[in-house]
Amino acid sequence: MLVPSTLKIYNASAGSGKTFFLVKNYLYVLLKSSYPDEFRRVLALTFTKKSSEEMKKRILQCLKEFSNQIVKKEYSSLFDHLVKDLKLTKHQLYERSKKILSAILHDFSSFSKNTSTIDKFTYNIIRSFVSNREVYLEMDTKRFLLKIIENLLYRLKNSEKWSNILVQFSLEKLKKGKNWDIRKELLKIAHLMLEENNFFPIKKIKSFSLENFIQLKKTLIKRTKKFEKKCEIQGEKFFLFLIKTSIQKNSFIHSDLPRLFQKLQMRNIFLNPFNERLEKYIQKKIFYKCSLQKHQKILIEKNKDEILSLYEKTKSIYKKNISYYLLDKLFLKNISILSIIHEIEKEFHFMKKEKKILLNVELNKILYERITRGTFPKIYERIGMQYKHYFIDEFQDISFLQWNNIKILVENALSENGSAMIVGDPKQSIYRWRGGDAKQFINICYSKSINYKKKLKRLETNFRSYEEIVHFNNFLYQSISKIFNSIIYKNIYQDSKQKTFKKPGGYVEINFLSSLENKNYKEYIYFKIKNKIKKLLEQKYVLSDIAILVRNNKEGRFLSEKLVEDGINVNTSVSLLIKNHLEIQIIINLFYILANPHCYQKRVILIFMLLKNKFIRTKKKDHDFIMKIIFLPLDIFLKKILSKDSLSLNKLYNKSIYNISEEIIESFGLLNKQNTASIYSFLDFVYRSMKSVGNSIVDFLDYWESKKEKESIIISDHKNAIRVMTIHKSKGLQFPVVILPFTDWNLYSKNQVGIWMDVNPHLYHGLNSVYLEIEPYFKRIKHDKNIRNIYEDYLSNTVFDNINLLYVSTTRSIEQLFLFSKIENEKSVSFYIKNFLREKKIWNEKKYKYSFGKEEKNY
C-alpha cells in the first residue's frame, strides 16, 4: 500500500521570489526523473495568462542555461542548489537539462498546455465532453447579457401575466423615488445568476416557478402585516389606557414611553423603537418627570404595574417576531425581480444554443455540476493517470468551485505517491467579486485532511524591495493588523513581517493635501506628480522606471491624458476613451447637426463648447450670441461659428464621412501636438465604421453610440514611457519607482452589495437562503443578531479587501515609493496610514509630508 505524499503549502508574501521558487521546484521534479519527458506528467496552473507565460519563459531559460557547459552568474545559484538537492554531479545535471530541453522543443504543445491558466484548463476539460464540439467561448459577458434582457423584455411584454408583474415592479421603483426603467434591475439579476458567489442559492431559486414566487410573496406580506397589526394593537392599548386612567402623554420622562407606543401604533417598527434610555428608566421603575403635578404622579404610581406589564408584554411580542419580520421585509424588496430568474434562465439556454457558445464565467460551474452529479468526465480519469505532479499558483485568488474541481486530481496524485505544491498570499487576495477568498487559503493551511499530509512553510525574505521600503511596509501593516475584529484577518497581517535581503537604501514619501488644495484635488495631484517625475529624471531615472498605480480606470484615464497632453510618453493598461476629448465631441456634435439641421439643442451644446474653449470670440454676451445665430439656416450657421469661410454645406455634399471628418478638423483647427493621438484614433474609428455601416451619417452616429464606451486612443508602445495601470493589473509586477496618486479610496463601496442569508426552508416555501441588499441603515439594526452579524461580516470583508489592495500597491516598488492622499478623509485607507504615523509618534496636524530613507537613485 502506497503512503500518501505531502501537500506542500507556501505562504509567499510580496517580493519573496514566488515565481523563482515555483520554477525551482518545477525543475526539481523534471531533473529528478530519469525520463526526459517528465514535463508531460506535470500540471502547473496559474491565475493569469501573464503568470503562465512568465513561468514557461523562466523554465525554458533555465534549462537553456543549464544545457551550457558554463552557466551564467545569474543562474549559477539555482544550478548549484539543484545539484545539491538532487545529489547529482554538475555534469549529470547538465546532461539531463539538455535532454529535457530537447524533449520539450519536440513536444512544445504538451509543455505549453500543461503550464496554463486554471480557466483554460477548465475550458479544455469541458470541450472534451460537450455534445456539440462546434461551440465557441464568449468572453464579452456584458454584451451577451444586454442582448438577453432585450430579448426577454420583447417576449414578456406580450404576456399579460408578465407585463402586469413588470408594470407593478416599475411602480414599486417609482414609489421609492428610483428609476422606473427595470432594464438595469434585470441586468443586475442576470449578472447575479452568473457570479460564482451566488451559484448555490441561485441553483435553488431557478427551480422556483412564477407561481411559487407569487405564493411566497403572499405568505410574506400576510406574515409581516400580522406582526404589524400586533404592534399597532399594543400601541392602541397604551393610548386607550391613558384615556381610561386620565394620565397625560407628557407626564412621562423624555416622552420616551408614549413615543415608543406611537411608533408601534403607526407600524414604524423596522428600526428598534425600544431605546436604551427608556429601558434604563423602566428597570429603575422611574416613569414620570420630577416636576410633574402631584395628582398625575399619584395616577402613574397607582397604575405602575399595569404600565410595566404592558411594556414587557409588548417587548416580548417584538423580540419574538422581529427577526422573521426584518428578513421578510428585506426579502420582499427583491422578491418581485427575483421571480424573473426562471425566465432569464430560459433565455440563457435559448441564446447559448442558438449562438453555439459557452460563457467564460460559467465554466467552473459547468464542470462542478458534472463532477458533483457523480458522472466524472472520462477525461478526468485520463488526467488522473497522466499527471503525477501539480503546481498551483496564486491560490488566494482561486474560487471555491475552481479548487473543488481540481482537488480531486490533486488528492489522487498524492495518494499515488505523486506531488502537489500550492503557493499563495492571503494579503494579496483582491478578487472576492469573482469568487476568490483568502479564508479558503487559510483553511487549507490549517485544516486536517485524512487523504494526505500537509507541510506549511512561510517565505519570509523580501528579495524585491530595498530596506526602507520593506521596513515601512512591515511597520505599516503591523499597525493596520490591530483594526481587524476577525481573528483570521488580524493574524494574516500580524504575521506579515518580512526580512530584507541585503539591499540598504530605499525611500518612501507620504504626501497629504489640505482642504484648501482639495478644491481641484485631481489637478493638484497631477501637478505634484509632474514635479515628482521631473525630479526623478534629474536623479537619472528614466520614464520606464516609473509606474503610477490607480484604483480604477477613471483615475488612470485622467492621469494618462494629462501626461500625453504634456508630451510625456505613456504606456497604459487603462482605456483612454476618445469620447472624452473635446475635439471629438465637437466633431460628433457637428455630425448630429448635419444629420438633423433643426436639432437646436445640439447647436446650443456645440456653441457652448466653442465659446468656452475660445474657438469663437465674440463681444456679445454668450446668451445674446446664441440667440442671434441658433435659428439661422444651417449654411449660414456654419459660417457664423467659424472664423473663416472654410466649411460650407457645398464642400460636404457627396463626400465620405471620413472626408467630412477631415474637413471639420481642418476648419476648426482641431489638430495640435497635444491631441494627435485622439484625432487619429477617431479617424481610424471612422474608417473602420464605414466598412460596417456604410457612408450614412445617421448609421454612423448609431454605430458611434454603441461603440463609444470602448473606443480608446491608440498609443504606440514606447520603450521609454511611464506605465499607468490599475492596482489589480500591477499584481505580480515590480518597478524601481511607484507613485500612488490617490491613496484615499473609500473603504466602503457606494455600490449596493447583495448577500445571501440562510433561513428556515419551512418558512420560505422550501428556499433555504434569501437575497438581501446591504443598506447603510443596517448599522442601526442592533436588535437582530443575524442581520447585525451579516453586516459586520460584510464590513470586515470590505475593509480586508481594501487593505489588501493597499498592500499590493505599496509592495510593487523596488527603490522608491510615493503616496498622495487627502488629509481629511476619515473613511478611506489613508486613515490607517495616519494612524500608523501616530503610532510612530511623528504625526503632526500641520505637517503634510513624511519621508523614510534618502531620496536618491539606488545603484
136 forms beta bridges with 357
* Distance, CA of 698 to CA of 695 (rounded, Å): 9
The predicted structure's pLDDT at residue 433:
82
Which residues have CB under 8 Å from 268's CB, separation 6+?
Answer: none
**Cα-Cα-Cα-Cα dihedral sign, residues 712, 713, 714, 715:** negative
Question: CA torsion 475→479→480→485, rounded to 10°?
Answer: 140
If asked whether residues 512 and 603 sit together in one domain, one would say: no
pLDDT over 80 (residue 643): no
Q: DSSP assignment of 305-350, as one string? A: HHHHHHHHHHHHHHHHHHHHHHHHHHHHHHHHHHTTHHHHHHHHHH
If asked whether residues 542 and 644 sit together in one domain, one would say: no
Residue 712 placed within a domain = no
Backbone φ/ψ region at 766: left (φ over 0), alpha (ψ -120 to 50), beta: left
The predicted structure's pLDDT at residue 106:
94
Angle at 91 between CA 88 and CA 96, to 5 degrees: 75
* Distance, CA of 649 to CA of 655 (rounded, Å): 11
Residue that wins the pLDDT comparison between 694 and 538: 538
If asked whether residues 67 and 103 sit together in one domain, one would say: yes
If asked whether residues 723 and 827 sit together in one domain, one would say: yes
Whether 708 and 579 have beta carbons less than 8 Å apart is answered as yes
Q: Which of 651, 685, 707 is the last residue of a domain?
A: 707
* Distance, CA of 255 to CA of 278 (rounded, Å): 9
Residue 495 placed within a domain = yes
H helix intervals, 539-581: 553-565
Q: What is the CATH number of the domain that holds 507?
A: 3.40.50.300
Q: Which of 409, 431, 459 is the last residue of a domain?
A: 459
- pLDDT tens profile 494-542: 989 999 988 899 999 999 987 655 568 889 999 999 999 999 999 999 9
For the record, the C-alpha cell of 613 comes out as 474653449
If asked whether residues 300 and 415 sit together in one domain, one would say: no
Give the C-alpha distances (Å, rounded to integers) separating 610 from 62, 623, 692, 700. Answer: 60, 13, 31, 23
Residue 858 placed within a domain = yes
If asked whether residues 327 and 268 sit together in one domain, one would say: yes
For the record, the C-alpha cell of 241 comes out as 389606557
β-pairing, 546-550 with 735-740? parallel
Residue 226 placed within a domain = yes
**Position 608, amino acid:** F
pTM for this predicted structure:
0.85
β-pairing, 754-758 with 769-773? antiparallel
Rank 340-344, 747-751, 811-815 by mean pLDDT and report only the highest. Answer: 811-815
Termini Cα distance of the chain: 57
Q: Tell me which residue of 768, 252, 830, 857 sits closest to 848, measured CA to CA.
A: 830
What is residue 464's three-state secondary structure? coil
763 forms beta bridges with none
Residue that wins the pLDDT comparison between 478 and 187: 478
If asked whether residues 835 and 692 sit together in one domain, one would say: no
Other residues' Cβ atoms within 10 Å of the Cβ of residue 597:
14
* Distance, CA of 542 to CA of 737 (rounded, Å): 10
CB < 8 Å & 24+ apart, contacts of 668-675:
668/583, 668/586, 668/610, 668/615, 668/642, 669/615, 670/583, 670/586, 670/587, 671/583, 673/567, 674/564, 674/565, 674/566, 674/567, 675/565, 675/581, 675/583
Burial class of 146 by CB neighbour count within 10 A (0 to 12, 13 to 18, 19+): middle
- pLDDT tens profile 111-148: 999 999 999 999 888 887 776 667 778 777 888 888 88
If asked whether residues 50 and 147 sit together in one domain, one would say: no
CA 214 remoteness from chain centre: 34
Q: pLDDT tier at 234 (50, 70, 90 boundaries)?
A: very high
The predicted structure's pLDDT at residue 547:
96
CA 324 remoteness from chain centre: 32
Whether 17 and 459 have beta carbons less than 8 Å apart is answered as yes
The predicted structure's pLDDT at residue 375:
66
Residue 485 placed within a domain = yes
In SS3 terms, 465-526 reads as CCHHHHHHHHHHHHHHHHHCCCHHHHHHHHCCCCEECCCCCCEEEEEEECCCHHHHHHHHHH
For the record, the C-alpha cell of 657 comes out as 464621412
Q: Tell me which residue of 726, 496, 571, 573 sits closest to 15, measured CA to CA.
A: 496
* Distance, CA of 262 to CA of 314 (rounded, Å): 13
Residue with cell 496636524: 845
If asked whether residues 369 and 446 sit together in one domain, one would say: yes
Residue 668: which domain range?
Answer: 578-707
Whether 444 and 395 have beta carbons less than 8 Å apart is answered as yes
Q: What percent of the chain has pLDDT above 90?
A: 43
Residue 808 placed within a domain = no
Q: Tell me which residue of 312, 358, 430, 333 sits closest to 14, measured CA to CA.
A: 430
Q: DSSP assignment of 698-717, as one string? A: HHHHHHHHHHTTT-B-----
If asked whether residues 446 and 513 sit together in one domain, one would say: no
- Output the average pLDDT for the chain: 87
Give the C-alpha distances (Å, rounded to integers) separating 410 from 42, 220, 421. Answer: 11, 46, 9
* Distance, CA of 529 to CA of 168 (rounded, Å): 52
The predicted structure's pLDDT at residue 676:
80
pLDDT over 60 (residue 779): yes
Largest interatomic CA distance in the chain: 109
Q: Which of 301, 336, 371 is the last residue of a domain?
A: 336
CB < 8 Å & 24+ apart, contacts of 69-73:
69/94
For the record, the C-alpha cell of 450 comes out as 485524512
Report the pLDDT averaged over residues 250-275.
Answer: 89
Residue 842 placed within a domain = yes
**Position 187, amino acid:** L
The total number of structural domains in the chain stands at 6
If asked whether residues 561 and 473 sit together in one domain, one would say: yes
Whether 7 and 455 have beta carbons less than 8 Å apart is answered as yes
If asked whether residues 469 and 544 sit together in one domain, one would say: yes
Whether 731 and 567 have beta carbons less than 8 Å apart is answered as no
pLDDT over 80 (residue 289): no
The predicted structure's pLDDT at residue 67:
93
- pLDDT tens profile 440-449: 999 998 888 7
Other residues' Cβ atoms within 10 Å of the Cβ of residue 237:
16
The predicted structure's pLDDT at residue 429:
93
pLDDT over 60 (residue 650): yes
- pLDDT tens profile 533-557: 999 999 999 999 999 999 998 899 8
The predicted structure's pLDDT at residue 231:
95
For the record, the C-alpha cell of 231 comes out as 404592534
Residue that wins the pLDDT comparison between 378 and 409: 409
pLDDT over 60 (residue 451): yes
* Distance, CA of 482 to CA of 334 (rounded, Å): 37
**Cα-Cα-Cα-Cα dihedral sign, residues 725, 727, 728, 731:** positive
Residue 523 placed within a domain = yes
The angle, 0 to 180 degrees and rounded to 10, between the axes of the packed helices 341-355 and 141-156 is: 120
pLDDT over 50 (residue 1): no
- pLDDT tens profile 567-612: 888 888 776 788 888 888 888 988 888 888 888 888 888 888 888 7
